Chain A
């Protein structure tokens, strides 16, 4: 977590001045009982009205100065905490966007989103509170004790006993209840899961007539939750009464000693009053302090989570130098490539060995989990091959600067994702300078022209987040168009036609084949019909190549291919 402090740079002045001003304000507050003491002992004692008025003016002055200090401190704290989090948020966002796929898989996107949002807010609140209050509360507690000593050392020993006792009570209850609150949270999650399951699985639950059983289960979980909540409630309800008792015992003791010492002429009546006031100040601050500790603990936990993400280093080592194009006759070569994902038991790809000439159409087919996506993901170097080499244009992918490599390649991922913004903005992901003509050309090729034509706003049609206002098939066609706008040398379609009906799929394949720049084309599919006419079909089975060749050859020689084909086209046999 210490590393995060770097982002506090530029706010050092605020981070130091803020707490200092707060302490100054607290010191003024600690002076109040002393002033009151003087009023009682001197003002009232001598019936000196002028003195009383003077002292009360001092009280007001203390108030004014305290407020000025405090307001300035609040400003510094706000400035430092907001500024810090703004920088940290940017740093984390940037960091995440350059992590490699391996790290992204390990961290998980939803947890990264939480780091970016709620953890950040938690940290901001934590820092703000820390700068404002962390020093102040203990300062008042101990300051009150020290001031008590200046009033009367003997009576002040009451503070020495009472403060630790209060600390023990407050922190014991906190320590007891924090794990219990976690348990409550866990039980609440179970209730939540029951609820969610009954919505998600409503068809199955009703089809199997499980409603009664589900109600029973929900009730059980609900009761468990309530029981735990009540238990925690009983414990945390102890906090106020116990601290109240301790403080008042201390006050009783103070008055008792005070009475003896006043009688003996060592103390004055005003001094007893001052001691009583100091004791009262402590309680308020201690409770504040306990709450502060809870918030800070949360903030520290958040900060640690953020820090953990920042510590993750991208496992892709990028070459800076621009590679030399050797002008190889092959667009892509796989040389005995193996891939093992981090934390996976076995290899996802084993000894993949084949090469693709420029302009060839390559079909990649196989069942789920056979490694089709893994294979194409190696070309833009989303992952690094764990053995062997992937060569693009005669150069190992590891020797390219990432951007240069990826600029050559257009990829259409399985998940058809579009971003909030107009169609035009989405298409420009492929090429920031694309003209409307170029965009329309790509869209038409991707069989999406008719969709644009239907929209009143044409290319300005606003796509909602995630492309929610388009159907799956429409989204898929736009993601294809987006890759085409790039005019890539290598185009990869990763099972990107699954939501298209057969007719559109066929038209799309026809258009791709007739593309003017004649890019090298990889088509990943589960349907033999989509790849049947490829120049080269790579059949994958459990991460290994089960066959390479043209459709007819494979039907003859490759059992896996035939099996896939048969499951989809039994027609010919009959």
Chain B
């Protein structure tokens, strides 16, 4: 019941989206109805023509010619109308898809980070791409199919009734048999398909796991063991696939068989009606031809409809997932009277800040910290201790639960997000580059930058020399996630990006590993240059960086457990001192 309510709700929303295409939609419906009517009319015309061709010297050429012209017209018009209908339907479908994607993307841009961080990206992408497609095809195409199907059934019925009631009765009674059979097969194969897809899923995950790590499999000479596991699943899959494939492929022969029964019955009743000259009906050979052609087609719409209905249900489920994304609560918008922060001097204050990602697991409690302009704050601690949380709060990717962060004495929730973020320069450890040219990536924060400014920034970031050596220099296109560039080069590029804007405050995330020493020295220098005279927050791994910081925040399990300068902390002989010394311990 509840799921039904959700379905209805979803359908209501779908109508919202197609509202704009009301007129096109009604044109399409009219076209569909006329196409179907004409298509059904043609066999009648042909039947009539055949009735005028009785035997030697018994052909009414004039009448036949007239009918043939009619057929030609009917066929011509049908084909034009049909093409128009398809085109209109396509257009509606694709435009609705476009509208939905537009909305979804706009939502993505204002979703709170908490949503994006906690949902697998693949899943969100699949909602925007696959679900939308499926929804459009299933629902809109499904709708036209459903509509034409119903019209065909009703039309055929009416046409048949006008010719011969008895034979119509035979068709109407017998055809549902094929539906029944199709339905029966679908139902009984459902569990086979389910088993097949489960087994397939099991196998796929084994394949993914083993092929992804085939090097490790080889390092342990574990191929035979793995193959044995694979074989076991493979054998099961063969068995259940065979069942699923075979039983589902029975639909076609069986329904066709029933069709041929109907066909034979119609032929029998029709032929006898022609000779018998039933009272009240004048059945002719032409009429028989019409019935035979209808009998052939009559079951088709039924079969299609049952397929369409499952498709449509699936489409509604897809639509539900898309709407869920579109209706997701956005981040709290900037207040009407939010302050636009001009160039900050670099006063940052954490006032009794508490924060947690999940409410039952408090993370940061009572964080107090005062940072003067130009000071540097190093955040240290073991992996997973929540160092990046501080970045999330500073940039207002997440909002604090209680307390507040103030920049220049203003709570950051009273500042527009854009102007707050404009005052920070951020270099993250897992550097993200946009697919595009190197230039586009550097000028992200300042699209109007001149060539000289770009080169100057790149030079200051020690990136110029390697960019210069690339085949197309600054116009080199980098693929998604930076592809051909090394981790270190990517980080230099993202430093150049910040170097170009030179905002008053910095957030830096030192790379833990996988950067070669030479590049690392360059990055250090570039960082140092950036930090001159700027308030900076650094998630630090290198002792040299840490030692030189004005304030060190030591984090453990999400808590700030110690706070002070290097010397103060060492003399406390606490966690920091331990951490620091362990590096030299043997």
Contacts and interface: CB of A to CB of B under 8 A. Distances in A.
B109 A63 contact: no
Contact of B275 (A47, A121, A225): A47
A511 interface: no
Contact of A215 (B52, B106, B274, B480): B106
A59 B263 contact: yes
Contact of A237 (B86, B397, B434, B543): B86
B478 interface: no
B234 A86 contact: yes
Given A60-B261, A81-B245, 7 more contacts: A101-B218, A188-B129, A191-B101, A251-B46, A251-B71, A368-B515, A411-B219
Interface of B: 42, 46, 49-50, 52-59, 61, 64, 68, 71-72, 75-76, 78-80, 82-83, 86-87, 90-91, 94-95, 97-98, 101-102, 105-106, 108-110, 113, 116, 121, 124-125, 128-129, 200, 204-205, 207-223, 225-227, 230-231, 234-235, 237-238, 241-242, 245-246, 249-250, 252-254, 256-257, 260-261, 263-265, 267-268, 271-272, 274-275, 285, 288-289, 292-293, 296, 382-384, 395, 397, 417-418, 421-422, 424, 426, 428, 432, 434-435, 444-445, 447, 480-481, 486-488, 494, 497, 512-521, 524, 542-544, 547, 578-579, 582-586
Given A39-B271, A413-B219, A499-B383, A197 B480 contact: yes
A202 B392 CA distance: 12
Contact of A32 (B53, B222, B263, B288): B263
Contact of B542 (A116, A256, A402, A568): A568
Q: What is the interface of chain B mostly: helix, strand, loop, or mixed? A: helix
Residue with the highest number of chain B CB atoms closer than 10 Å, among A223, A368, A369: A368
19 contacts: A40-B288, A55-B267, A60-B261, A94-B227, A97-B218, A97-B226, A98-B218, A132-B249, A192-B125, A204-B494, A251-B71, A252-B72, A259-B59, A276-B46, A277-B292, A280-B296, A560-B517, A563-B517, A567-B524
A564 interface: yes
A283 to B, nearest CB: 12
Interface string A491-504: 00001001101110
A502 B579 contact: yes
A273 B519 CA distance: 85
Contact of A259 (B64, B209, B212, B223): B64
Contact of B271 (A52, A506, A526): A52
7 closest residue pairs by CB, A with B: A367-B516, A233-B90, A63-B260, A241-B79, A237-B86, A265-B56, A70-B253
A258 B53 contact: yes
A70 B227 contact: no
Nearest to B227: A94
Given A206-B421, A269-B53, A66 B221 contact: no
A263 B227 contact: no
A263 B59 contact: yes
Contacts of A402: 221
A193 B106 contact: no
A244 B68 contact: no
A226 B95 contact: yes
Contacts of B226: 97
Contacts of B215: 101, 104, 382, 413
Contact of B56 (A81, A263, A567): A263
A117 B512 contact: no
Contacts of B231: 90
Contacts of B417: 206
B211 A113 contact: yes
A256 B68 contact: yes
A56 interface: yes
Given A78-B245, A203-B397, A498-B513, A60 B264 contact: yes
A380 interface: yes
B86 A226 contact: no
Contacts of A382: 215, 218-219
A336 B575 CA distance: 47
B91 A230 contact: yes
Interface stretch (A155-163, A296-304, A324-332, A464-472): A464-472
Contacts of A226: 94-95, 97-98
Contact of A66 (B217, B257, B585): B257
Contacts of A499: 383
A219 interface: yes
Nearest to A227: B94
A35 B261 CA distance: 14
A57 B105 CA distance: 63
B486 to A, nearest CB: 7
Contacts of A44: 271, 274-275, 285
A200 interface: yes
Contacts of A199: 108, 116, 121, 124-125
A536 B390 CA distance: 42
A276 B289 contact: yes
Contact of A89 (B52, B95, B234): B234
Contact of A192 (B129, B418, B444, B543): B129
Contacts of B418: 209
A121 B237 CA distance: 12
A201 interface: yes
A43 interface: yes
A200 B71 CA distance: 60
Given A52-B272, A113-B208, A276-B289, A230 B94 contact: yes
B76 A406 contact: no
Interface string A337-367: 0000000000000000000000000000011
Given A96-B211, A197-B435, A533 B586 contact: yes
A93 B227 contact: yes
A409 to B, nearest CB: 8
Contacts of A264: 56
Contact of B49 (A113, A202, A255, A407): A255
A402 B275 CA distance: 86
Contact of B249 (A77, A203, A214, A255): A77
Residue with the highest number of chain B CB atoms closer than 10 Å, among A249, A252, A465: A252
B105 A245 contact: no
A378 interface: no
Given A97-B217, A218-B105, A367 B517 contact: yes
A9 interface: no
Contacts of A146: none
B53 A262 contact: yes
Given A63-B264, A201-B434, A74 B250 contact: yes
Contacts of A294: none
Nearest to A111: B211
A171 interface: no
A189 B49 CA distance: 53
A90 B229 CA distance: 11
A70 B256 contact: yes
Nearest to A64: B257
B79 A465 contact: no
Given A204-B444, A269-B285, A501-B382, A259 B53 contact: yes
Contacts of A97: 210, 214, 217-218, 223, 226-227
A82 B83 contact: no
B137 to A, nearest CB: 11
A255 B52 CA distance: 10
B515 to A, nearest CB: 6
A194 B105 contact: yes
B83 A237 contact: yes
Given A93-B227, A203-B432, A280-B293, A406 B220 contact: yes
B517 A564 contact: yes
Nearest to B260: A63
B212 A109 contact: yes
A420 B82 contact: no
Given A63-B260, A90-B234, A204 B428 contact: yes
Interface in A556-571: 560, 563-564, 567-571
A134 to B, nearest CB: 15
B489 to A, nearest CB: 10
